[in-house]
Structure 1
């Protein structure tokens, strides 16, 4: 459990004191009932000392839980520093891609479809499963298959814009005696372009030297996942920055490095009759990004960054008819990422905002409206003379 802030300690203790006063009890009575010394209670009133989980449970039992100011609940990736988030963003994106591929292999239906799509005629994907898996492992080190993957990679890296012909014309296959388009390598028969493209994606996992093998239960040498934590954002939203069309930004640089800028090159139209969402197999490709800046009641600044593979809808609370754009929130989809950078130093706030704008691919801004909002909320505006 994260240690309570000084403000939280004061909030909990004063809540309990107020309750005991309302029923005609003194602080001495309260200390005795809660099992703590009265001197310790006085310290905690000023925010000193710690409130244990046991003491919090007793306060809730006797007094109910204290009420905070209204807030926004989300489950987010939590960072203490913006630069740390930027420095790790690309490696986390790559890690997320590898984990998607690993998850596909663990899905029995999808895995069976993959084995069926490459099985030679004399083998059955269920009865000869181990044999086919061994052949797959050999496929990913065969010179012929690696050469095909390298050529396809060049097509993806050099094809931009709306021209689909280089993708459609790529010679992934051979023509067999019956005139069918197949690719026969390492004893396997790859029966359609989508199967080849899926195997091409798995070649990225093989080449990453993570210890990946088909039919191998040994854990991959992957980075830990970034956990999502439940948070409540309190205070006021004083700035919203957003942008769609992220094709030219560094936000999608991990995708560009892995695949190239031709997103359609690895989108599977139909995979052996089994429909896969692009989010199941494709590296993160963000279509829209949004950032909100919150000024808390304790005068702390927090960034909320929202990344989505689709359009981010916006909505306001049902009882808010002010029309103020700062009251609107981005609707969170199931494949979105939410990131919070907490406790941003007020002296470096404008610098951090410019760094985020640059990351978004937005131009520099004077932040005049932001400074107005900070002043309205009673915050500190560096360089502004306060007239009293």
Structure 2
């Protein structure tokens, strides 16, 4: 079947010119005959008025080779139409990024195997602390039970109670130890007592027979290898993705299933680019206050009221969880976006317009120096009008928290690179 893909005007021009320059014997007419197009198409392609289809592109490359590109800087980045678009939609993008993180975990085979292995009821009493490795079939059956457990009215009642307790803990600014104790105890106290648990929390007297652990037993599940923090995080995320608003936002046609995880697509796409323009300005610094992203929904997360406001509960499958110590399990981190540093670089393109690269990163962590920018996210604005570049950079300056834009220095660099400076007289 013939490809219907159309390539860009600049790529068409580049390929046609490369073919014509490869030999003096090749004329526009002969090239048109080889491609099976009208002779006028070649002139139109050279002037940007016609674009090659995929089959013709491959024919050109097969016979005349790929034209050599220009030297430049390689970036893999999200794209935005303009600086104003980037600023306007930044919080919306952060929600998509968070949703993509959650979805990535809940559709990952290894992660799902971990859930099943940690929550299945063992055949006999097990004190090893090591969850069983399940066959694919057994894991799938267990995940079906987990789904039914999460969808049960008793789990919904527990989750609502734990939210009330969680809000009270946040307001009281309790220690990490109290936070952990509360979530641990919430699984074995009667569900109707969970919202009002007080410290210090001991074992219920008399022993509970209407707790979450008792309810889980009816589904063939147990909590020997999983903690209440993980249960809350998993249940909240799973139930949020039963809501049509959220599963549609995730690109799914129906509520998410753990037993039959759906195929997913990227919600925030990164593309590859080579920037061939001249670098005319770059700046690196720290935000006056961190830029904090948004969760895909507040109902889908439990915030951790400790050091950093971007932290939310992430399943780690650690039996004894210490929230004050960074988890050794880094496979899936459900925290929100958190940016403390930035680096921006402006490039003058061949058409006298501009491309801007924005890097966002962090300088927090046990092995990161305070003055180090560790890029974790890159955004590219591929085309900024030369007439409005300073104006748009000033919009970005406000967001970055810079006191002023070094306009004179930028204009000097633009002039040295042969760029256009609105209002400047050329002598």
Q: Considering the TM-score relative to the shorter chain, is it more than 0.5?
A: yes
2:239 counterpart of 1:206: yes
- Measure, in 2, the Cα distance between the counterparts of 1:237 and 1:147: 56
Is the 2:345–2:357 Cα contact (8 Å) retained in structure 1?
A: yes
Distance of aligned partners of 1:44 and 1:83 in 2 relative to their CA distance in 1, 3 Å threshold:
same
Corresponding position of 2:96: 95
Aligned to 1:142, the other structure's residue is in SS state helix
Corresponding position of 2:329: 276
Of the three residues 8, 20, 25, the one matched with 2:23 is: 20
Of the three residues 145, 148, 156, the one matched with 1:134 is: 148
Q: CA deviation at 1:277?
A: 1.0
- Measure, in 1, the Cα distance between the counterparts of 2:176 and 2:312: 6
- Measure, in 1, the Cα distance between the counterparts of 2:47 and 2:146: 69
Equivalenced residue count is 354
Is the 2:345–2:358 Cα contact (8 Å) retained in structure 1?
A: yes
Corresponding position of 1:322: none
Q: TM-score, normalised by structure 2?
A: 0.66
Is the 1:288–1:309 Cα contact (8 Å) retained in structure 2?
A: yes
- Measure, in 1, the Cα distance between the counterparts of 2:212 and 2:183: 11
Is the 2:100–2:266 Cα contact (8 Å) retained in structure 1?
A: no
Is the 2:32–2:42 Cα contact (8 Å) retained in structure 1?
A: yes
- Measure, in 2, the Cα distance between the counterparts of 1:244 and 1:51: 45
CA distances 1:220-251 after superposition (whole Å, capped 9, x unpaired):
9x9961222222221112222333457x24x3
Is the 2:233–2:315 Cα contact (8 Å) retained in structure 1?
A: no
2:426 counterpart of 1:387: yes
- Measure, in 2, the Cα distance between the counterparts of 1:238 and 1:10: 27
Corresponding position of 1:342: 382
Q: CA deviation at 1:377?
A: 1.4
- Measure, in 2, the Cα distance between the counterparts of 1:356 and 1:245: 12
- Measure, in 1, the Cα distance between the counterparts of 2:50 and 2:177: 68
Task: Give the 5 Å matches for 1:103-182.
Answer: 103-114=104-115, 129=142, 130-138=144-152, 142-153=156-167, 155-156=169-170, 166-170=175-179, 171-174=182-185, 175-176=202-203
- Measure, in 1, the Cα distance between the counterparts of 2:165 and 2:311: 17
Q: CA deviation at 1:309?
A: 5.1
Distance of aligned partners of 1:111 and 1:268 in 2 relative to their CA distance in 1, 3 Å threshold:
closer
2:245 counterpart of 1:242: no
Corresponding position of 1:298: 351
Aligned to 1:346, the other structure's residue is in SS state coil
- Measure, in 1, the Cα distance between the counterparts of 2:171 and 2:77: 33
Distance of aligned partners of 1:364 and 1:386 in 2 relative to their CA distance in 1, 3 Å threshold:
same
- Which sits farther off after the overlay, 167-176 or 288-297? 167-176
Corresponding position of 1:162: none
Q: TM-score, normalised by structure 1?
A: 0.72
Is the 2:293–2:338 Cα contact (8 Å) retained in structure 1?
A: no
Corresponding position of 1:49: 50
Q: CA deviation at 1:90?
A: 2.2
Distance of aligned partners of 1:351 and 1:377 in 2 relative to their CA distance in 1, 3 Å threshold:
same
Show structure 1 runs of 5+ residues with no match.
160-164, 313-329
Corresponding position of 2:272: 230
Is the 1:137–1:214 Cα contact (8 Å) retained in structure 2?
A: no
Show structure 2 runs of 5+ residues with no match.
126-131, 186-201, 217-221, 248-254, 321-326, 366-372
- Which sits farther off after the overlay, 112-121 or 96-105? 112-121
Distance of aligned partners of 1:177 and 1:252 in 2 relative to their CA distance in 1, 3 Å threshold:
closer
- Measure, in 2, the Cα distance between the counterparts of 1:83 and 1:115: 45
- Measure, in 2, the Cα distance between the counterparts of 1:331 and 1:265: 22
CA distances 1:35-90 after superposition (whole Å, capped 9, x unpaired):
44444333433333333333333332333222332122333222323333333332
Corresponding position of 2:212: 185
Corresponding position of 1:74: 75
Distance of aligned partners of 1:50 and 1:140 in 2 relative to their CA distance in 1, 3 Å threshold:
farther
Q: CA deviation at 1:132?
A: 4.6
Is the 1:20–1:27 Cα contact (8 Å) retained in structure 2?
A: no
Corresponding position of 2:62: 61
Q: CA deviation at 1:299?
A: 1.8
Is the 1:117–1:195 Cα contact (8 Å) retained in structure 2?
A: no
Aligned residues: CA RMSD: 4.3
Is the 1:75–1:230 Cα contact (8 Å) retained in structure 2?
A: yes
Q: CA deviation at 1:93?
A: 2.2
- Measure, in 2, the Cα distance between the counterparts of 1:114 and 1:25: 64
